[in-house]
Structure 1
């Protein structure tokens, strides 16, 4: 788990390193053990007020695809620098007209041990066509928990940030290494 200060430094590095005209704004920089994901806002397509929802959706998807192809070289140059500096893969995404799209990103394997009742849940999702495999079913479950407990997960992450800051401060090492002798403990108990 990285600290809030480390996250701020990472976001600051990307803010400074990205070309000024790449995004309208930098929306999010997230990091875990394997990957850094950078998401920026791009302008939506200009559309007439009376376009259908299907036309709007297609135009937004087209704008995202155009951005992805046009900026590939710039983004890959930044990614190479970041991967060298931070030893993590860099993935990209955009927000455009209220839609979010992530480009190729890391799908890291996660090993878990499940008892029969939990495996039966996954097998039911596979049998019901919700997922193609137990792995897909487990990913589906994680996304469902994430979507339904977003506030709670945010509070938990904030708490973990606080714990990390307390750990970094540690005990006062000067006081803990000072030896006042056995009598000092006795008088403190009196």
Structure 2
């Protein structure tokens, strides 16, 4: 099965449209799944520690023309969690913290620690492939090292443990095509 994995949309209408069009062009049969941070919270981490019961319009940037673009399942990111915290609403509670797909786990990435240089300290998961976002830096990780990637070039994954960061839709228009049957990942970038 083919999956198109995209994350860190941050309510960007133009970038999301470009990535969805690219997915339709490159992998029209792929199942699209979100890696979280679909929406943009307007409240920073520090202010969110005390801000409560804010109206949604003040807490989040959710353009009307963005909402119809989000037609795919997704995990919950830290932006959705912060929006719920500061509004007291449960709009994103239905988004799970993690999903399991064919041979892989999907999480946003805010659930574990990161180094000062934004290298993920990945948890051991079962299945052993872990797709995530959060840092906005596309990357393929194995044994605490970042491996080289090239956009548009499939990477055959050995039967080992890997972390795969799909990068960010917002600003970079990145996404990952995962073929669970061939056990390949292809890092993609829309124009």
TM-score exceeds 0.5: no
Q: Normalising by structure 2, what TM-score?
A: 0.29
- Give the structure with the higher percent strand: 2
- Give the structure with the higher percent helix: 1
Relative contact order, higher structure (CA 8 A, sep 6+): 2
Q: Normalising by structure 1, what TM-score?
A: 0.30
